[in-house]
Amino acid sequence: MSEFELRAITPGETYELRRALLRPHQRVHEMTWAGDDAPDTLHIGGFREDRLVGIGTAHRQPMPGLSEPQAWRIRGVAVDHGHRGYGLGEMLLRRLLEHAAASGGRLVWANATAASYGFFEHYGFARRGDPFELPEVGPHYVVYAGL
Ligand SMILES: CC(C)(COP(=O)(O)OP(=O)(O)OC[C@H]1O[C@@H](n2cnc3c(N)ncnc32)[C@H](O)[C@@H]1OP(=O)(O)O)[C@@H](O)C(=O)NCCC(=O)NCCS
């Protein structure tokens, strides 16, 4: 049995890890993202011994440059440093993909950091276009996959 447990969490519960792991230059109150409060958005938390150590979000959003109406964005997937490499990232991503598919999604996409696109590629995502720079976050690729 996995040592991690997945549970749906509120947008607010993602903020601390979003800031610590993805946006260290921003403040906690800036961690609210578009789509966070949509009724069909899923925020998933990965818990180890009841402590939140991983997060991820899936919400409806068209992929830039594509007209597929049933597109879902995977956002803010992150695992706390000491807990990486034990399968939680995969558990979070799979649950988010399941949610998007069960909600009628046909396509999933993400803005992946240069350090993490390999993670998405591992699960069948492809890169699209040239890398682009997010101010103070660094280079990103758009990655996408069919559902
Ligand atoms: C990317 C991240 C979520 C992976 O979490 P994790 O819990 O370490 O991932 P897992 O242990 O479930 O790894 C699953 C598989 O992906 C692979 N993988 C993980 N990170 C990878 C990377 N950066 N590049 C290539 N492969 C990677 C692992 O080798 C593993 O493969 P295996 O099953 O064949 O051994 C984590 O490293 C992280 O939080 N990174 C910083 C935040 C980030 O950049 N998030 C992405 C936002 S766009």
CATH, range 5-146? 3.40.630.30
Q: Is the CB of 55 under 6 A from ligand 1?
A: no
Q: For a substitution probing ligand 1, which of 33, 73, 92, 116 has the most ligand atoms within 8 Å of its CB?
A: 116
Would the pTM count as exceeding 0.85?
yes
Measured between alpha carbons, how far is 101 from 78 in angstroms, rounded to an integer? Answer: 21
Taking the centre of ligand 1 as the mean of its atom positions, its distance from the CA of residue 85, in whole angstroms, is: 7
Three-state DSSP at 83 gives helix
Atom of ligand 1 nearest to the CA of 91: 12
Domain boundaries, the chain: 5-146
For residue 135, give every residue at least 6 positions away whose Cβ sits within 8 Å of its Cβ, in sequence order, or none.
none
Instruction: Please count the CA atoms within 13 angstroms of the CA of 8 that sit on its side-chain side.
Output: 7
Provide the residue-wise pLDDT of the chain in tens; the chain has 147 residues. Answer: 579 999 999 999 999 999 999 999 999 999 999 999 999 999 999 999 999 999 999 999 999 999 999 999 999 999 999 999 999 999 999 999 999 999 999 999 999 998 899 999 999 999 999 999 988 888 999 999 999
At 8, list the tokens.
């749906």
